Amino acid sequence: MQQVTLKGKTRHGKNRIHQHGDQWFIEKFDKFRGQDAMMLRSENKTDRGTFDGRWVLLQDDPNFVMINNFDEDKQDGKDNQ
C-alpha cells in the first residue's frame, strides 16, 4: 500500500495531523465532489479503535498539502536509494 505524508494548511487540517499523524495510506483514487481525489487511511488507530479515513483532493485541497518525501530527501542532500 502506498503511503503519503500530509501537512495541515488550515486549523482543521493541522488538528487532524495532530490527532492522527502525518503518515497516511492511500486506499484508492477516485472523485470526491466531482474532483480527482485520494481516499486515505490513517497509519494508526484512533482512540475509538478504528482508523480515520478521509478524502484529500489531488490539487488545491483546502486543508492539506501532500509532501513528496523523495524531493525532500534530495533537497536535504540525501540520495534516497
Segments making up each domain of the chain, as ranges: 3-75
**pLDDT computed for residue 70 by the predictor:** 44
**pLDDT computed for residue 47 by the predictor:** 85
The one-digit pLDDT tens for each residue of the chain (81 residues) are 899 999 999 999 999 999 999 999 999 999 999 999 999 999 988 888 999 999 999 999 999 999 965 444 433 444 444
**pLDDT computed for residue 69 by the predictor:** 54
**pLDDT computed for residue 17 by the predictor:** 95
Rama region for 14: left / alpha / beta (φ>0; ψ in -120 to 50; rest): alpha
The whole-angstrom separation of Cα 8 and Cα 72 is 17
